Amino acid sequence: MLLQDLSQRDWLGILNQSLLTPALLPVLLVNNGVSVERLTQLARMSLNLYEPYGRHILYKSPEIEVMLAKWSYRSAASPHNHGYSRGLIWFLKGDFNEQHFQFSKGQLNAVGAPVYFAEGDVATVVSSDIHSCSPVGEGISLHLYSPAIQEMKVWDLANKETLTVADECGAWVPQKSDLIIKRVKWE
Ligand SMILES: [Fe+2]
């Protein structure tokens, strides 16, 4: 299957059906010709050491964004939200941990213990949530968000700032300052 064939999938239909029952997502994807093997072939390494995963947009419209992430060994995303979007993450290769956070009064605090996802599991993304994912070793994950992600915030722990990042930026503190739309110091 060529990449342009992937843009012909009914991504929004697949996401809307699976939001009701997230465990259905892998089955619906395979039924639509989106296999683990094909996604593994398409996954791209990150080019920079500071980027925890290589980001490959498989499809994007205002309504939906489909992003394939190839995670470096034991890397971790920076804590982030998803703007106004909700969606699902399919951990198609490798096991992962997800940590939820809460930000208030200038402090970012972990909420509960990390949640473990075995290879093949699906996680739900809620727009108001702040989280971070990390692979136990290496990994590949497929992210479906609706609407397409806008105004994502990344929490920069080192500089105690919350950054609103450009739509083409992943869940990390960008090195290029033109990818930072807004910067708010923690009080
Ligand atoms: Fe995320």
Residue 122, both tokens: 């699906």
Give the span between the Cα atoms of 114 and 2, in whole angstroms. 37
Give the span between the Cα atoms of 24 and 29, in whole angstroms. 9
Distance 133 CA to ligand 1 centre (A): 7
Q: Give backbone dihedrals phi and psi of 92, rounded to 5 degrees, phi first.
A: -85, -20
Distance 131 CA to ligand 1 centre (A): 6
pLDDT in tens, 26-80: 999 999 999 999 999 999 999 888 899 999 999 999 999 999 999 999 999 999 9
Distance 65 CA to ligand 1 centre (A): 13
Residue 54 lies inside a defined structural domain of this protein:
yes
- Residue 122 reports pLDDT greater than 70: yes
pLDDT score at 158: 95
pLDDT in tens, 85-100: 999 999 999 999 999 9
Total of domains in the chain: 1
Distance 10 CA to ligand 1 centre (A): 22
Residue 27 lies inside a defined structural domain of this protein:
yes
Residue 140 lies inside a defined structural domain of this protein:
yes
Residue 42 lies inside a defined structural domain of this protein:
yes
Residue 161 lies inside a defined structural domain of this protein:
no
- CATH number for position 26: 2.60.120.10
* Residue range of the domain that includes 47: 3-149
Distance 132 CA to ligand 1 centre (A): 6
Residue 23 lies inside a defined structural domain of this protein:
yes
Distance 3 CA to ligand 1 centre (A): 23
Distance 89 CA to ligand 1 centre (A): 8
pTM score over 0.85 = yes
Distance 144 CA to ligand 1 centre (A): 10
- Residue 2 pLDDT level (bands cut at 50, 70, 90): low
pLDDT score at 91: 98
Residue 22 lies inside a defined structural domain of this protein:
yes
Q: Range with the lowest mean pLDDT among 47-51, 83-87, 134-138, 164-168?
A: 47-51
Distance 23 CA to ligand 1 centre (A): 18
CB atoms within 10 A of CB 51: 20
pLDDT score at 3: 60
Q: Give backbone dihedrals phi and psi of 24, rounded to 5 degrees, phi first.
A: -75, -20
Distance 78 CA to ligand 1 centre (A): 9
Residue 61 lies inside a defined structural domain of this protein:
yes
**3-class DSSP string for 42-73:** HCCCCCCCCCCEEEEEEEECCCCEEEEEEECC
Distance 25 CA to ligand 1 centre (A): 17
